[in-house]
Amino acid sequence: MQMPLTCLFRRSQIRKLVVSALLLATLSGCKAVVLAPSGDVAAQQRDLLVISTGLMLLIIVPVIALTLLFAWRYRHSNAAARYEPEWDHSTQLELIIWAAPLLIIICLGAVTWVGTHLLDPYRPIERISSSQPIAPATEPLVVQVVALDWKWLFIYPQYGIATVNELAAPVGRPIDFAITSSSVMNSFYVPALAGQIYAMPGMQTSLHAVINARGDYDGFSANYSGAGFSDMHFRFHGQDTAEFDRWVARVKQPGEALDRERYLRLERPTEAEPVHYFAAVAPELYHAVLNMCVQPDKMCMDDMMRIDAKGGLGLAGVNNVLPLEYDKYARRGSPPGVAPGFVASVCTLADPLAGAGQAAAPISPRDPAGIVGAGLPRPGLPLLRPIDVTALPATHPVKPARPLS
């Protein structure tokens, strides 16, 4: 006896419904962290996203519905529909078509402008949550973030500690992130905390945020940066004050110190780097990382900029910017040769502290061997011949260089 076709059809529908229900059940354990964040900044960003989407749906949904309605009502087989081939204009319809989107755009622009300024990552936050402002005496937690290849370094200058691929902060305490990179552009992102902020070498970006609920959250790099990008993630622990104090004490337990030499080793590319704790951090390490002068004999970028503001060093400063420490003897795309030199420091010939009427005693550098660069002595190479400005023709006057101060 053959089974009716309707029964087969119903069983097929039931089977599809069961499979769909099972698939939905497997997704029930997923958490849309962007739409259910635990930080106030991320929550405000979520609200901005929801409001903007709702405003746009006020136009999108009616347009889709009317499109389907018109397609059905004015189909070829519907003889009852009005047929007006000469119709070409309706003032009322034009007002609706143009006024409704214009109002939506005005509302979107206002919401976006206000949200963009209030949620500026460089702007210190003004509240812990919608019902709790920041107490006047609250000290923000400062965290210095360095994107390495391919791991994250977090320095806590207020506590003198540092961690690799692990971040912690107390609930309800504002966090001030100072973010940079050691090599290539990257992106620091904790979806539950706030939006992503780019990390760039030689530059500092900022992010102000707060975590409002205890928990362990995912953090990762949101910008492709090379072979180890897929493993460039970390855990962010939102803790109460007592838990955070215990975490700091655990990191401070006798262990390795992060000095400049250890940082240069840590800077080398690695993949799937485990969590590291550093019980002490060298003073001004983050400043040196930001200014690309972790090497003890290398001039910092901010010093170079100050010199440039005073008139510059000319050819002597050509090779100040070097590749990464582990690439410095093999520049990408350059022919083999001697190691590139760079200016390490600048010395004046007269003591600027000498009093009026006193003879200006010459100053010698503490370590003359460390001062190398274009136009300066280099081991194994002759010194470039200086130009005698007095021998130049009068038609090419030379403007005297301004003294450095």
pLDDT of residue 293: 87
pLDDT of residue 369: 52
Q: Where are the beta strands (DSSP E) in 73-191?
A: 127-129, 132-133, 141-148, 151-156, 161-164, 166-170, 175-181, 186-189
Distances, alpha carbon 147 to alpha carbons 177, 182, 211, 252, 286, in Å? 13, 6, 22, 22, 12
- Phi, psi (degrees; rounded to nearest 5) at 202: 75, 5
What are 347-367's pLDDT values in tens digits? 544 544 555 555 555 544 445
Distances, alpha carbon 292 to alpha carbons 78, 110, 180, 221, 394, in Å? 75, 41, 11, 21, 42
Q: How does pLDDT run along the chain (405 residues), one tens digit per residue?
A: 455 544 544 666 667 666 666 665 555 445 677 788 888 898 888 989 899 999 999 989 999 999 999 899 888 888 888 888 888 888 888 888 889 889 999 999 999 898 888 888 999 888 888 888 888 888 999 999 999 999 999 999 999 999 999 999 999 999 999 999 998 899 999 999 998 999 999 899 999 999 999 999 999 999 888 888 899 999 999 999 999 999 999 999 888 899 999 999 999 999 999 999 999 999 889 999 999 888 877 788 888 787 776 666 655 555 554 455 555 545 444 444 455 555 555 554 454 455 555 555 554 444 545 544 444 444 554 444 444 434 444 444 444 444 444
DSSP result, 253-305: SS--EE-HHHHHHHTS--SSPPPEEESEE-TTHHHHHHTT--STTS--HHHHH
What are 145-163's pLDDT values in tens digits? 999 999 999 999 999 999 9
Q: Return left, alpha or beta for 357; rule: phi > 0 is left, psi -120 to 50 is alpha, else beta.
A: left
pLDDT of residue 20: 66
d(CA 39, CA 209): 7
DSSP result, 43-107: HHHHHHHHHHHHHHHHHHHHHHHHHHHHHHHT-TT-TTS---TT----HHHHHHHHHHHHHHHHH
Pull the structure tokens for residue 163.
């961690």
Q: What domains are there in the chain, each with its CATH number?
A: 31-70+94-119 (no CATH), 129-290 (2.60.40.420), 295-349+366-384+398-405 (no CATH)
Which H or E element spans position 206?
A: strand 205-209
